[in-house]
């Protein structure tokens, strides 16, 4: 990340350019709002306000700031596209999708169970039942082997 802190020839970060101020060494926005992406800061500033973002970034650990900025940018963009629901709109759509897919999965599993049971009924399961009945009903003195099972 090339911030203007090292050299005065670098352009100011997107935040400082937007706010028309000098991008000083150690600028809190500089590493996260490169001059190539002015829209990112403009969205975040419009929705959250530069001073709130600056306050938030100062309150969290340096290694978490990039993630924080990216989530703010995501939320801000969603709020610009959908002023009523913002990213909650996307979350609701995904939650409904999860519920629908869960129902679909349950129905498929139920079909699978019916299919498996139908196969057992006509083939293995019937034989197994017959063997069982034979063993228990017609053999009053089971062998020691049978007791182990």
Stretch touching Zn ion by CB under 5 A, among 7-15, 36-44, 51-59, 121-129: 7-15
CB atoms within 10 A of CB 55: 12
For residue 93, the tally of other CB atoms under 10 A from its CB is 11
CB of 79 to Zn ion, least distance (A): 23
The pair of three-digit structure tokens given for residue 95, joined into one six-digit string? 């939650």
The answer to whether the CB of 14 falls within 8 A of the CB of 3 is no
Q: Which is nearer to Zn ion, 54 or 89 (CB)?
A: 54
Q: How far apart are CA 6 and CA 48, in angstroms?
A: 29
Based on the shown chain and the rule CB under 5 A, indicate whether residue 50 belongs to the binding site for Zn ion: no
The answer to the question of residue 16 lying near Zn ion (CB under 5 A) is yes
Q: Please choose, out of 15-23, 62-70, 71-79, 126-134, the segment that lies near Zn ion by the rule CB under 5 A.
A: 15-23
Give the distance, in angstroms, between the CA of residue 99 and the centroid of all CA atoms in the same chain. Answer: 15
- Name the one range near Zn ion by CB under 5 A: 30-38, 62-70, 113-121, 127-135: 30-38
Question: Can you read off the two tokens belonging to residue 112?
Answer: 């699978």
CB nearer to Zn ion: pick between 24 and 118: 24
Q: Which is closer to Zn ion, CB of 16 or CB of 47?
A: 16
Pairwise CA distance, residues 31 & 116, whole Å: 59
Other C-beta atoms closer than 10 Å to the C-beta of 17 total 15
- The reply on whether position 27 binds Zn ion by CB under 5 A is yes
CB of 14 to Zn ion, least distance (A): 8
- Residues at the contact surface with Zn ion, assessed by CB under 5 A: 13, 16, 23, 27, 29-30
């Amino acid at each position: 990340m090339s911030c203007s802190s090292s050299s005065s020839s670098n352009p100011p970060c997107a935040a400082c350019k937007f706010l028309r101020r000098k991008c000083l060494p150690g600028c809190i926005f500089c590493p996260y709002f490169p001059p190539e992406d002015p829209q990112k800061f403009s969205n975040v500033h419009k929705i959250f306000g530069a001073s709130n973002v600056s306050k938030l970034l100062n309150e969290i650990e340096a290694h978490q700031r990039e993630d924080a900025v990216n989530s703010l940018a995501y939320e801000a963009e969603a709020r610009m596209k959908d002023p009523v629901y913002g990213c909650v709109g996307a979350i609701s759509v995904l939650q409904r999708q999860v519920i629908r897919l869960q129902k679909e999965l349950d129905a498929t599993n139920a079909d699978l169970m019916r299919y498996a049971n139908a196969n057992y009924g006509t083939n293995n399961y019937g034989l197994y039942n017959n063997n069982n009945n034979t063993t228990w009903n017609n053999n009053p003195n089971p062998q020691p082997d049978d007791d182990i099972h």
